[in-house]
Amino acid sequence: MKLVPVFFLLALVVLPFITIQCANDPAVRSTKPAVEQVRDHYTQSLQELSSVVQAMDTALQQQTAPDTLRALFMRARLAYKKAEYLVEYYQPYSAKQINGPALEDVDEDEPTRLLEPEGFQVIEEQLFGDPAALDREQMRILTARLSALVQRALNSAGTAMITDEHVFDALRLQIARMITLGISGFDSPVALNSLPELSSSLTSMRDVLGFYLRDRHGRSYREIRQHIDGAQTFLSYNTNFDSFDRLAFITRFINPLAHDVRQARKELGIGVSGSRRMFRSTASSLFDTNAFDPMFLTPSYMPAVSDETIELGKTLFFDPMLSGNNRRACASCHIPDRAFTDGQAKSIAFDFKGQVSRNAPTLVNAAFQAAQFFDQRTIFLEDQANAVVHNNAEMHGSLKKVAIELAQSKEYSDMFARAFRGNSTPINERNVRIALASYIRSLTALNSRFDRYMRGDTTAMNTTEQHGFNLFMGRAKCGTCHFMPLFNGTVPPAFVKTELEIIGVPTAPDTLRAKLDSDIGRAAANGIDIDRFAFKTPTLRNIELTAPYMHNGVYTTLEQVVDFYNRGGGIGLGIHMERQTLPPDALNLSRAEQQAIIAFLHTLTDTTGLTTRPLRLPVLPAAAHRTIGGEY
């Protein structure tokens, strides 16, 4: 009889423990719908994060040693990574505040108002910098603010309209985030804690998918577990950030996982999110053949684009009648065989009177940029075409005049009628811009040797090129600005913002007497001081064909470019820079490592099918003889 109270006491102690374990163990079956289990998991992850951040605040009050603070910070980061996929999905603004770059920014609604950086990355700079410079009062302010941001996310978790489609879309985007921003150290630039954080994201993903795949003996769940477990084992045995084999990690585990998740979604009968994105909702991997939508960044008035629209735009692109003297075409400065650049440091100006102010960038994959020109002064390609035609130093033309002249050509009239069916007056200024922009958007090329390797062709890159990729995405830090797989400044996985960087470009390649180039970049367009010397991060695709480099064409070889970054940009050359966004520390890459990076960059060459020209130009009754492509 005395045994009963003992068993009763054991039950009081053990059963609650078992209940807690069951509530947190995704392998234990639940009667709740999967989305509610996801919400619970999301809430628990944020609660864990909140608890650790509060512990950091307590530790700061108690003057705890920096090592303990760093350990708590690492724990907080791991907790955040469990919830990141839904914070980013449902609360992108909060996500930016919690985990955005430690840089001043401009308020999009009030461009004259500066936003001070906050969140993890600012705290990281303090904690992992010089211990003697640790400002505990400032740290307490930053930690308190972080705690408030986390609490706001936690408060919103209970009311978020979580759906099955959104969960799988968020997981898909998280996979893309892991292998672009995560694997490169983008959001852990000082602590370099990216690899453990990848493992934390994968654990969360495994748990969430377990809520849906109740039959844990099914093929989808086995394959998902195989690739997640394999990835985590790989991470546990390869812990050095600098030497980590990112290429093997992506191709052996993460790309297959992305396809597993898509297959599981299909088997479960869960639809695709209806949201239109640059990274198509129907694509499972960033490396799918049609993963990116070149029509995503278009103005609201944009009609449906047809082959006829593109062909018309192509013809106009090569026709010098768009210029003020009927001698210069768009193709004069954007030559197809040079990946639509011209090989000049700065393009020759109209009527050969000097030079324009900047280097002519490639137009290949221009559709995948959220802003145009080096200073981002226009958003859409339609506006870029308009600006170039009317620029006195470039085309010195008038689209109003062009439209009148085009209407005099029977051939052009027919082409416009086919391209803009249903328009009562198809030849007008707007349709000229639309046609030109449509042709430029058609200049997409994402089938380089690198792309083929990522899709499974292991013969497409040699060992030196593979090593160069791992350096590019790791120790050389190239991938933290030139985001894979577009290798431009358009930030994954949303791909809605193209970044600017201040790197301190010199006037000449002489590293002994370096002087900052006088072009103030973005600040000339918006008048904002923090954007002085900021320029759009261009694509590195086809860089083998697009020399010379930088906005002023200062470097003629890739060796010079890599050396510039290896030295730490302008500051590394001895130039005084107040706001250089490029880390100023020397990378200390060996000659062999620099050559490996260059070898990798050569794998990004692809202009297949883009270099053809019109066979002839339509007849213009009053026009003089016109050469396709125009002068020089």
Q: Are 123 and 139 in contact (CB under 8 A)?
A: yes
Q: How many CA atoms lie within 13 A of 281 on its CB side?
A: 16
Tell me the two tokens of residue 9. 């006491």
| Residue 165: per-residue pLDDT | 96
Place of tokens 């705290």: 123
**Is the pTM higher than 0.85?**
yes
pLDDT at 427: 97
CB-count exposure of residue 143 (10 Å: 0-12, 13-18, 19+) = buried
200-255 confidence digits (pLDDT tens):
999 999 999 999 987 655 678 889 999 999 999 999 999 999 999 999 999 999 99
Written in H, E and C, the secondary structure of 506-571 is ECCCCCCCCCECCCCEHHHHHCCHHHCCEEECCCCCCHHHCCCECCCCCECCHHHHHHHHHHCHHH
What CA–CA distance (Å, rounded) separates 479 from 183? Answer: 9
- Bond preceding residue 26 cis, omega within 30 of 0: no
Closest CA to 371 of 539, 233, 163: 539
Pairing of strands 500-501, 114-115: unpaired
How many Cα neighbours within 13 Å face the side chain of 460? Answer: 18
Q: Are strands 114-115 and 105-106 parallel, antiparallel or unpaired?
A: antiparallel
The label of the residue with tokens 């996310």 reads 153
pLDDT at 17 (0 to 100): 36
Residue matched to tokens 């936003």: 115
* Residue 9, pLDDT score: 30
Task: Give the number of other Cβ atoms within 10 Å of residue 116's Cβ.
Answer: 9
Residue 29 pLDDT: 60
- For the chain, which ranges sit under pLDDT 70? 1-29, 108-109, 111-112, 215-218, 623-624
Torsion angle defined by CA atoms of residues 297, 298, 304 and 307, in that order, rounded to the nearest 10 degrees: -70
Contact between residue 284 and residue 262 where contact means Cβ atoms under 8 Å apart: yes
First-to-last alpha carbon distance for the chain, in angstroms, is: 105
| Res 130: pLDDT | 83
Q: Each residue of 175-206: b (16+ CB within 10 Å) or e?
A: bbbbbbbbbbbbbbbebebbbbbbbbbbbbbb
Supply the Cα-derived Rg of the chain in whole angstroms: 27
pLDDT at position 18, please? 38
